[in-house]
Amino acid sequence: MAAQLAHPGQAPPGANDMSCRPSREHPNPVVLLNGFASTDTLAWQTLSPLLANDGYCVFSTTIGKTTFGGYGGFASVQDSAREVDAFVTRVRAATGAAKVDIVAHSVGGAVAFWYLTELGGSQSVRNLVSLGTPFHGSDLDGMAGLLTIAGAADGLSRVCAQCRQLAAASPFLAELNPDPARVPDVRFTDIVSRYDEVATPYLTGLLSDGPNVRNEVLQDRCATDYADHLQLPYDPVAIEVVREALDPGRGGRVVCAVVLPAPVGTVN
């Protein structure tokens, strides 16, 4: 939040060096995608510099901007996916890489999936790592029904196309059809928290089992991790899973900390 307030619209540390050339160890640039009502500045202050220090070429952009200043995640999935297409094309041209890896928070993962299946993105992406993505829709921890009763649901859907599209039982979910078998050459790693209060129920963030799918529930690794939706891009366990997904040779490393719900954070 401090970074967003001090430097709105500025890429996170380590990101968007167009002179970066991928190494043999990490040949795929990593593209970071924000979620709802967020920016790349808000989402990636931890992961971006860490991956850059790991030796990756890292790139970030804020997708889905509409009328809320620099905040993204409001435009339709289709419009946002076209932004991803253009950005990935730019990154590949700058770096000379044949493919990229994508790490996406929240609705950014659904946008990335549409890009893979509907815009030919599977030819340009090796890994899609999602953090709390409502692939199968979200009931907002039961709040969706209350918003309807209160008459606020229609107003929210008018200003947030993605909110409408990714709501539980939305007709759009059949169009999205988040079946990883549709793009068998892409590897999927799906990371969720049982304490997610936005992408709910939390199982919405998991894709069906398959040879190209790895599903991770944070609490299966670390019972003391109470990270919620907004904490996922900063959570130490989630970050370790991201690093393993991008570098399978890294191997599993035991990471477990006491992570309390926001705004308390991590206790080491």
pLDDT at position 147 is: 39
Phi, psi of 86 (to 5 degrees): -65, -40
pTM of the model: 0.92
Residue with the two structure tokens 């990935």: 88
Six token digits for residue 132: 């709390």
Q: How far is CA 54 from CA 16, 57, 58, 59, in A?
A: 15, 9, 10, 14
Yes or no: say if 161 and 74 are a contact pair by the CB < 8 Å rule: yes
Q: What are the b/e assignments for 10-21, b being 16+ CB within 10 Å?
A: ebbebbbeeebe
pLDDT at position 142 is: 65
Model pLDDT for residues 166-179, shown as the tens digit of each residue = 999 999 999 999 99
DSSP alpha helices (H): ranges in 14-106? 40-43, 47-53, 77-95
pLDDT at position 146 is: 38
pLDDT at position 154 is: 56
Q: Is 205 exposed, middle or buried (0-12, 13-18, 19+ CB in 10 A)?
A: buried
Six token digits for residue 88: 């990935």
> Which residues share a beta bridge with 33?
61, 104
Question: In terms of Cα–Cα distance, which of 54, 72, 61, 85 is closest to 12?
Answer: 61
Residue with the two structure tokens 């709501």: 167
Rounded Cα–Cα distance for residues 196 and 69 (Å): 26
What single letter denotes the amino acid at residue 93?
A: A
Q: Which residues contact 220 (CB under 8 A, 6 or more apart)?
A: none
β-pairing, 30-33 with 265-267?
unpaired
Six token digits for residue 67: 């009328």
Model pLDDT for residues 6-25, shown as the tens digit of each residue = 777 789 999 999 999 999 99
Each of the 268 residues of the chain gets a pLDDT tens digit; together they read: 787 777 777 899 999 999 999 999 999 999 999 999 999 999 999 999 999 999 999 999 999 999 777 899 999 999 999 999 999 999 999 999 999 999 999 999 999 999 999 999 999 999 999 999 999 999 997 655 433 433 444 556 668 999 999 999 999 999 999 999 999 999 999 999 999 999 999 999 999 999 999 999 999 999 999 999 999 999 999 999 999 999 998 877 778 989 998 765 555 4
Six token digits for residue 184: 């068998």
> Which residues share a beta bridge with 61?
33
